A and B are shown apart, each in its own frame.
Chain A
Amino acid sequence: MLKVSDLEVSYGDFQVIWGVSLEVRPGEVVSLMGPNGCGKSTIFNTISGLLKPKAGTIELDGRRIDRLPSHEIVRLGLAHVLERRRVFPYLSVRQNLWLGGYNPQARVHREETLEQVFGQFPRLRERQDQLAHSLSGGEQQMLALGRGLMSRPRLLMIDEPFLGLAPAVAKEMMGVIAGINAAGVSVLFIEQNVQVALSMSNRGYILESGRLVLTGEPDELLNSSEVKRIFLGG
């Protein structure tokens, strides 16, 4: 459903992504891993249209999206949950969610989607009138996910869903993501912890200094000596 081919991205003259190709098939959970600063978030931002690629193509269901502005990409069924959640701090939980569902296609179903999101995140229902900044980190992450789901995506991209979460909360979040996927949404997510990421993915990509170095199924990657070299410097 998502196909990225030979992507190159630069900030000004400084190129950070070199010929990256990756793919997400319908119904899959795919992880993108790599050390700090290797370009994972840049790839996400380029896919969702926040950045423009220097070269390469991005297709969603066979349609080129790499020249579209981000608000049109959202309409095509791709939601991007940004790193560090970025909830609107002085809007209530419900208002945050509403903002997620404002694109024309999603607006028609907004009430229904809101119910589904509240079903998935009961805590958000309890706290719907609270200001978003008063939520805990885990709740804010749930709000960010819920807000992304409000646009009724077919592909959800989550940038570091477990960042800064307590282990128990992170575990809960893993269940939530599995639930989202079970509901028919493909998921592409970024995570630094290879064990955690692969335990919940169908496939994974490993990025190093802006280049893809490895890709495969969890078993292959976990046993690869290359992975140990990249993450442990062995």
Chain B
Amino acid sequence: MAPPRASAPAATPPPAALDGPDSALRAAQAEPLHPPLSGRQKTLGILGAAALVAYPFVFNTPFPQHVMIMIFLYGMMAQSWNIMAGYCGQISLGHAMFFGIGAYSSAFLFVTYQISPWLGMLVGIVIAMAAAAVIGLPTFRLRGHYFAIATLVIGEIVQIVVQRWEFIGAATGIWLPIIRENQLVNFQFNDSKIPYYFIALGFLIVACLAVRHMERSRLGFYFRAIREEPEAARSLGVNITLYKSLAFMLSAAFMAMAGTFYAQYVLVVDPEVVFPLTLSILVLLMAVMGGVGTLWGPLIGAAVLIPLSETTRILLGGTGGAVDLIIYGALIVVICLFKPEGLIGLVRQWLPAPPAEREADHGDS
């Protein structure tokens, strides 16, 4: 969706007239939420970007690269959940279904018709968005917990259906053949994780840019209005069913993208792995832990929880897998008690914005 435009030419402030309180006010309205980046933020940004590019070359063994890839992948999914729940206030407990749709679409099209997974990903995105629209139609009449329960149940139904659907491999799922040529077209990289690293990073950046753009646009305002006071939003002329559907569809699209990536990364998709309830919950936990309704929160959540889960998995062995969930649970309790706004609250304490920015930052909280 395009950002709101100043519809009449007269509404745009002439650049020369930036003196006096009125023109300052008008200038502020032109960009109501976000001031330009400060010098310090720019420096931090450039350093961060350089570190992300250098990382896979400095840590050139598979494990640290794998951990980062998972952070990017889950960061993207947590961001996707954040669009729907953090900004628009619709708690979904069935987001794994869109991940599964993405994974299955590209894998199925590749194995059956040799269609490039990149195209398969687009198909998956379209199917996921269509599914979101169809699911939203009846369920958006439900509020709060009831909507969450409905998504949970639908997610489970989808998994059960896929488990029994012979056409797409039923419970065995789909095994992607290993192909050594045309790696980029086939979205398979057998020699190194570095291409996966950069693709996942790219996907994450796309998701974050989309959220950043949404946050500042009309769409973002509608979403937040629906989250805070749906009745008031309706009375002001916001078509809330339409905008909830858009949030759901946007969110589903990014989950599907992540699904295709995952399928190409592990080269196996099966219902247990790509449609589980635990995935829906995990994505939710990351966003909640990091800070819902903020751009950086989900990324922080993923950056904290993924290393934790990967490390405990290594230290305690794959079957002792529940330990990471125990630690998650404890962390969530601690966060709820001391930083209900999420880890992003801590980050904001450590990196306080200059006063002028904090002023303008209100819409984020």
Contacts and interface: CB of A to CB of B under 8 A. Distances in A.
Q: Do A and B come from one complex?
A: yes
Interface of A: 48-50, 69-71, 73-75, 79-82, 86-92, 94-95, 98-100, 102-103, 107-111, 114, 128-131, 147-148, 151
B212 interface: no
A69 B228 contact: no
Contact of B237 (A102, A108, A114, A128): A102
Interface stretch (B38-46, B183-191, B218-226, B270-278): B218-226
Nearest to B4: A107
Interface in B291-331: none
Nearest to A76: B237
Nearest to B236: A100
A50 B224 contact: no
Interface in B200-232: 218, 221-222, 224-225, 228-229, 231-232
22 contacts: A50-B235, A71-B239, A74-B236, A79-B236, A82-B231, A88-B225, A88-B232, A90-B362, A90-B365, A91-B363, A98-B32, A99-B221, A103-B236, A108-B8, A109-B8, A110-B7, A111-B6, A111-B11, A111-B26, A131-B362, A151-B236, A151-B237
Contacts of B224: 88, 90-91
B179 interface: no
B238 A102 contact: yes
Interface residues of B, number: 32
B222 A102 contact: yes
B235 A99 contact: no
A111 B11 CA distance: 6
Contact of B11 (A82, A91, A98, A110): A110
Contacts of B236: 74, 79, 99-100, 102-103, 147-148, 151
A102 B359 contact: no
B362 A69 contact: no
Nearest to B235: A80
B363 A95 contact: yes
Given A88-B225, A102-B222, A110-B7, 6 more contacts: A48-B235, A73-B237, A74-B235, A91-B225, A92-B32, A92-B363
